[in-house]
Amino acid sequence: MILGVDLGTTSVKAVLLSGEGEVLAEAEHPHALHSPHPGFAEEDPEDWWQGLKATVRQVLQGRDPLGLKALGISGMVPALVLHDARGRTLRPSIQQNDARAVEEIRELKERFGDDWLFARTGATWNQQVLAPKLLWLKRREPEVWAGVAWISGSYEHMVFRLTGARYQEANWALESGLWNPSSEAWLGEVLEYIGLEAWLLGPVRRPWEVVGEVDAQVAQEVGLPQGLPVIAGSADHIAAALASGLKEEGEAVVKLGGAGDFLYAVDRFAPVPELFIDFHDIPGLYVINGCMATTGSLLRWFRDGFRPGVGFAQLDQEAEAVPAGAQGLVVLPYFLGEKTPIHDPEARGTVVGLTLTHTPAHLWRALLEAVAYAFRHHVEVLEARGHRVERLFVMDGGARSRLWRRILASVLERPLEKLSEANLGSAFGTAFLAGVAVGLWGYGDVRRRVEEVTEPVGEWVPVYRELYGIYRELYGRLKDLYPRLGGGYA
């Protein structure tokens, strides 16, 4: 058996695979994303640990743990976890969609320039990269900064707790904006400016490498066998790309998780300034990708704040009665600023067109439509750079929503293929990768199974085409006003 665990924005998921790669069991344990101030996005790493223990015990219930051959963990990237000399966390994690370091982004952009950073890392100065956040911490939490003995990401932290291994997985390094993939070295100029020593970041390891074994002291606590091999792990969206069978240029995957990802495979390191680029979990391939700061987490925010206790399926059912376009309601889903493709940490969530006739069902539908418009923006950016999207797949938890799939297909104006076990995405992908690492199967055994094809709804298409234009125009008109709202970024 092979075990895969994914640390998502809103939950921990686990998948148990047989020696033939079939799903034996799955489990999910929720946790909270905290936003104590506008632009902040933090989580408690202890919540991930408790979620890992709960899901591992659930999928192994009634099974002998000694039958496990390997473990892979994926997670949000590049999350930021600070440790003291004993490996204890010093504060909550700062998540990849955190937008607090507005001033530091401006400062580093002025000091080094986007072109300088892009030429070395394929990244630009935005809310995703870590140097602005590290500079923010140094200046605003000096007592925490003084105790930092090691910096990690989300899944590297979990692997450390299981095995004691300290490292950075390659995509954490690449997305941090602190690492040059050509020279395979940390950016000395940026580290010197921050006042950070390279040894605090540790060595860079590839996703499929076995980096350690489950330690005897934690084996019993977690319910895993002592000595179980653990791989370096994977960025969650890249594990999802592997799980989806994404290998061919021209194919793209929409991942509807706590954050929204758009994934497109290429066979060369060809970064796009508006998007991100990562190493594929398949050696020799890369993934050009976009990641929006809030997708599923935005829907959960609405549900918990305005319709507590109501299930997502019921909210969808109510919104089914609302016409396409939510009767002129348009939302900009920038509730934590926005990463790709606009890279604006000061952008705000915006609702335009409200009237007294609108209901919560209208707003729910408008939120689903807003995310679809954002994905269309990604497709247009990619195709403007010469990358044609010819086939589109959808996966992760949001893919279970029939309404959302129909909206997406209609906004994107092309069929949307839902993958089997779509909600397993990243956990399945990192389990598969662990199986590759210990020789149970190879990359050629990746199987793509399409469960359902959702066609665009003919009468919705012209409505969404018109409202998408308004969606794009709204941001252009409002972007200079957002910084003047104040109240916000501590």
Cα 489-354-342 angle, rounded to 5 deg: 40
Contacts of 58 (CB under 8 A, 6+ apart): 14, 25, 27
182 vs 120: CA distance, rounded Å = 8
Q: 248, 243, 117: which is closest to 175 by C-alpha?
A: 117
Full DSSP string of 47-67: HHHHHHHHHHHHHTTTS-GGG
**Burial per residue of 263-281, b for 16 or more beta-carbon CB atoms within 10 angstroms, e otherwise:** bbbbeeeebbebbbbbbbb
Phi/psi at 69 (5° precision): -110, -25
What single-letter amino acid sits at 344? D
- Within its chain, how far is the Cα of 162 from the centroid? 23
Helix, coil or strand: residue 147: coil
65 vs 221: CA distance, rounded Å = 13
100 vs 3: CA distance, rounded Å = 35
473 vs 469: CA distance, rounded Å = 6
Q: What is the DSSP code (8-state) at residue 338?
A: B
Contact 330, 352 (CB under 8 A): yes
Full DSSP string of 120-161: HHS--SSSSSSHHHHHHHHHH-HHHHTT--EEE-HHHHHHHH
**For the chain, which residues score pLDDT lower than 50?**
489-490
Contact 456, 432 (CB under 8 A): no
Contact 418, 394 (CB under 8 A): yes
Beta bridge partners of residue 212, listed in sequence order: 230
175 vs 275: CA distance, rounded Å = 11
Contact 247, 285 (CB under 8 A): yes
273 vs 327: CA distance, rounded Å = 35
Beta bridge partners of residue 454, listed in sequence order: 416
Ordered by where they begin, the domains of the chain are: 2-232 (3.30.420.40), 246-489 (3.30.420.40)
pLDDT at 421: 66
pLDDT at 422: 61
390 vs 73: CA distance, rounded Å = 31
First-to-final CA distance of the chain = 47
How many other CB atoms are there within 10 angstroms of residue 487's CB atom?
6
